[in-house]
Amino acid sequence: MRACSIRLATLIALALSLPTASFAENPPPKPAAKPAPKSAATPAATATAKPAPKPPVVPAAKPAPKAPVVAPAAAPQAAKPAVIAPTAAPQLAKAPVVVSAPPAAPAKTLGVQLEIKRITLENGLRVVLAPDHVSPTIAVDVVYDVGGRNEERGHSGFAHLFEHMMFQGSANVARGEHFKLVTSHGGTLNGTTSEDRTNYFEMLPQSELGLALWLEADRMKSLDITQFNFENQRKVVQEEYRMRVANQPYVPSEIRLQEMVFEGYWPYEHSAIGTMADLDAAQLEWVKAFHDAYYAPNNAVVSIAGDFEEADAMALVTRLFGDAKALPSLPKYEPGAMPEQTKARDKVDVDEHAKLEAVIEAWAIPAAREKDHYALELAAMLLSDGDSSRLYRSLVREHAWCVDVSAETSDHRGPDSFEISAKLSSGAKLADVEKAIDAELSRIAQSGPTDAEMQKLKTRLETHFLMSLQTNIGRAQKLAEFELYWGDATLLKGELARYQAVSRDDIKRAVARYLVPARRSRIEIKPKQVTAAAEVAPAKATQKAPSK
């Protein structure tokens, strides 16, 4: 889960996601939780589109029960449970409001009440349904179990390249028509790539569920992979790399830090955006082989959330995806063990685009959903989530040494990383900033959070978690990832309880075990103009004064 303050790596996030157009509903707010690099795909110039067959239309939804609620597990006292309640019709539903239990009530562990149904088609396609009739909109998220971690050495960036290729047309949808069909029906769409998966989603009015499913099924079954589309999108991705990575401040250093933290562990040692060299060397037959190995129904999850009837949705899914051919076998993912780091790794980068000095440091930590990972997520919040968090209060508000500081986990399926980044104010000393960061980590390792901090952490975490599920697309994406990563979307219902179970001692122990100097990778980022000025100054100082 990522802390609320903005980290330097969010700049990379621009590099692996497609731009959205008009919205059928607002995108989900980011929880105290990150993301992975994502890129804005500029659609290539589209050819004149052939008329596409009329997509199926889902029947209008019947009156349905109220939206899911988040309520405390049964408690010994009859305190009124907390609920998330929609605003009554006919007005548009407002954002959910969490109503606190009476102060005198005992501590409770919240559970998330969502209506979730899981089905697997004969071809292996996993389907997750989460009906919610609060808003007359739907979201469809199709997630493929392929990302940067599945790429071979020398073939980096292929998963991201296919994020672009998937919008270049299929048997019944001309190149560029996917965008036009969705936006002209009042919706928005996107595609994102991370080290762990690739996903494609649409948000549309309730009546257009059939359109979204038809578009996704058509490209799953008949993507148009041609030399022209390949060369076109390779150029788009390379230009995107120049714009979003090479010419952005701090971003190249973020990618190098990832390489340092996961040194010797290829799945996460390289960024999902790939390298210019690998993109230059890519060949069409390699790209086709990559697609043929991973893009199939038995390697994907279709998640639908919003205003629909289960029977109608399943009828559409079965009819549209049922004839997609499953792969007889899928590539095995056998990355091996990650080498243990026993010595600190340090580097200095000179950044020609940066205006301010910065420092970024990271540690390898256990995978997402392991016990210590939950504790470290709360440690990140303790350090930088909100104006009263320890590092933000000290470095930004009190001493004004930094203009921004953040701490967060990357939330990988496999080994993960914990990162702290700080962008210094003009005139601030790096030594002072690093000393303050080390001191806070030491205090947490020795004493943990205070009782007041633990109460604040649990309250803010609950808010972040629930806010991440308040929209259809937020629920669809979370459920799809839980089904894909952990094998069961319903595990999401108990996720909040796992965070709430983290104790003060858990945080203290995890920080003391993992966030230690010997396991740290660190990059000091110096602006080029500052470095140049420092080199000139000594020369001036040694010049002799002119004789009189």
Residue 485's nearest CA partner among 416, 417, 419 is 416
pLDDT at 56: 56
pLDDT for 489 beyond 80: yes
Distance CA 546, CA 67 (A): 83
More confident residue, 83 or 416: 416
Distance CA 269, CA 148 (A): 10
Helical H segments across 271-400, by residue range: 276-281, 284-294, 310-321, 371-384, 390-391
pLDDT at 529: 77
Amino acid type, 412 = H
What strands lie across the sheet with 416-424, from one edge to the other?
345-351, 520-527, 358-365, 416-424, 402-409
Lowest mean pLDDT among 168-182, 293-307, 415-429, 519-533: 519-533
pLDDT for 60 beyond 60: no
Distance CA 91, CA 108 (A): 33
Distance CA 225, CA 278 (A): 19
Residue 2's nearest CA partner among 459, 512, 373, 303 is 373
| Contact of 3 with 392, CB cutoff 8 Å | no
pLDDT for 465 beyond 80: yes
Lowest mean pLDDT among 23-32, 108-117, 275-284: 23-32
pLDDT at 460: 96
| Contact of 450 with 546, CB cutoff 8 Å | no
Average pLDDT, the chain: 84
Task: Enumerate residues 6+ apart whose C-beta is below 8 A from 246.
Answer: 252
CATH fold of 345-535 reads Cytochrome Bc1 Complex; Chain A, domain 1 (3.30.830)
- Classify residue 28 by its DSSP letter: P
Q: What is the dihedral of CA 378, 379, 384, 390, to 10 degrees?
A: 120
pLDDT at 536: 53
Q: Which residue has the tokens 């969705």?
A: 182
pLDDT average, residue stretch 519-526: 98
The strand pair at 198-205 and 137-144 is best described as: antiparallel
pLDDT for 5 beyond 60: no
Distance CA 449, CA 452 (A): 8
pLDDT at 191: 96
What is the pTM assigned to this prediction? Answer: 0.80
| Contact of 290 with 162, CB cutoff 8 Å | yes
pLDDT average, residue stretch 138-167: 95
| Contact of 75 with 105, CB cutoff 8 Å | yes
What strands lie across the sheet with 137-144, from one edge to the other?
117-120, 126-131, 300-306, 137-144, 198-205, 188-193
Specify the domain boundaries for CATH 3.30.830.10 within the chain. Answer: 10-46+115-321, 345-535
pLDDT for 73 beyond 50: no
| Res. 407 pLDDT band, cuts 50 70 90 | very high
The CATH number assigned to the domain with range 10-46+115-321 reads: 3.30.830.10
